Amino acid sequence: MDSVGQKIRELRKTSGLSQKDLASSLGITPPNLSQWESMAIPPLEGIMKICRHFDIPLWQFFMDDETALKNYLPPWVRKEHLEFLKELNKLPESTQKKILKNITEIITLRKYI
């Protein structure tokens, strides 16, 4: 598998869902889902929605096997990042969203400093 988008496509197809059906379940449009399936790395919030829908822990989404993991993630992602995702997944969804929101805001702020 070459990308995270391809993994999303495979999950959808393996589950027998059309893009329209999955998009509807996720609360997005079919063109949005099509775009995610075409991207090497879709938005993290989108990946989180996919994981919730298929009941897959976020960290596990990236952990098929060691060689596939290298294909999914940019080279700057380290083992510590994946360990963080495992811990993040143990938190309630509302807390995960707050953390994601804060991290996104921090990244945005860093661009202006």
Q: Where are the domains of the chain?
A: 4-112
Q: Confidence band (pLDDT; 50, 70, 90) for 18?
A: very high
Asked if residue 3 has pLDDT above 90, the reply is: no
Task: Tell me the C-alpha to C-alpha distance, in Å, between residue 24 and each of 18, 28, 49, 94, 105.
Answer: 10, 6, 12, 22, 28
Which segments within 21-111 are labelled E, that is strand? none
What percentage of the chain has pLDDT greater than the value 70?
A: 87
Asked if residue 58 has pLDDT above 70, the reply is: yes
**What CATH fold (topology level) applies to the domain 4-112?**
434 Repressor (Amino-terminal Domain) (1.10.260)
pLDDT of 19 reads 94
